[in-house]
Amino acid sequence: MNIRAKMLVCFTVFLVLLNAAVFLLYQTSEEMMDEYDQRMRRLLLLNEVSQRVSHLTEQLNAYVSEKEGKYARAYEQQYRWLQQQRRQLAANLAVLSDRLAAENYEHMIESFLEEAALTVYHFQAGNIKLYSSHLHETMNIASFLQEETLNLIDDELTAYQKQYDEVARRNRDFRYMGMGLFVTTLLFGVLLAVFFSGRLTKPIILLSRAAQAIGAGRLDGPDVNPTTNDE
């Protein structure tokens, strides 16, 4: 194998090992960021649901009190958002450890939307007793929803605290791995440089000494035998 092929093989192995180590660090970091991103999405979604529930009840109360169309339109906007996001919310909450709480939360939103719709229906039909009853139930469910939302957010934050401790530990490990990778790369590069410089210069030095001896008239010196199968 010639010198060029040897250098290519060694540096290829060096680059493969280096890239494998970097890829491992990158992949682990991506997994951590993905888990963090999902948890933050759940927190933001829960907070958004809490705000939408509050806005819906406010607009519903204003509508049945003032009987103005702008409140009805604002109510319908909040209603549609909650109805559309209900499935996404269920999918996001499904990863929680307490699946029963997630299912109850989803059913609570369904009941809330149903009672709100019945309130509007009976109000528009003029059934005062029925719409008052459903409005009262809507308000009760909204209160339960707000309380349960706070519980779910608290559970998420508690789990996040554990994740944060794990992330901090992994970051320390990454720093040590990065430092180790840097030192290893430096040492390996120096060893390669020393190895190749020695392999390249040793035969040349032997030939130079033999040439100097011959030039000085010493023809009985030892033979210069090649030790490598290259140039």
Taking only the tens place, the pLDDT of each residue in 147-174 is: 888 888 887 777 777 766 666 677 677 6
Q: Which of 164, 143, 172, 162 is nearest to 54 (CA)?
A: 143
Helix axes 99-125, 69-93, angle to 10 degrees: 160
| DSSP summary character for residue 73 | H
> What is the percent of the chain with per-residue pLDDT over 70, rounded to a whole number?
72
Residues in the chain: 231
Closest CA to 114 of 145, 77, 83, 84: 83
Q: What is the radius of gyration, based on Cα positions, of the chain?
A: 37
Q: What pLDDT score does 139 carry?
A: 93
**114 versus 198: which is more confidently predicted?**
114
Cβ–Cβ under 8 Å, residues 6 and 230: yes
Q: Which has the higher per-residue pLDDT, 184 or 72?
A: 72
The pair of structure tokens assigned to 35 is 């888990």
- Looking at residue 218, what is its pLDDT? 67
Q: What is the pLDDT of residue 55?
A: 93
Q: Which two tokens stand for residue 58?
A: 């406010």
Q: For residue 94, what is the DSSP state? A: T
71 Cβ contact partners less than 8 Å away, ≥ 6 residues apart:
59, 60, 62, 63
pLDDT tens track for 131-146: 899 999 999 999 998 8
Average pLDDT for residues 187-191, to the nearest whole number?
A: 75
- Using one digit for the tens of pLDDT, what is the confidence trace for 25-48? 677 777 777 777 777 887 888 888
Beta carbons of 152 and 105 less than 8 angstroms apart: yes
Of 128 and 98, the one with more pLDDT: 128
**Structure tokens of 33?**
């960021």
pLDDT value, residue 149: 85
pLDDT in tens, 58-97: 999 999 988 888 999 999 999 998 888 776 776 666 555 5
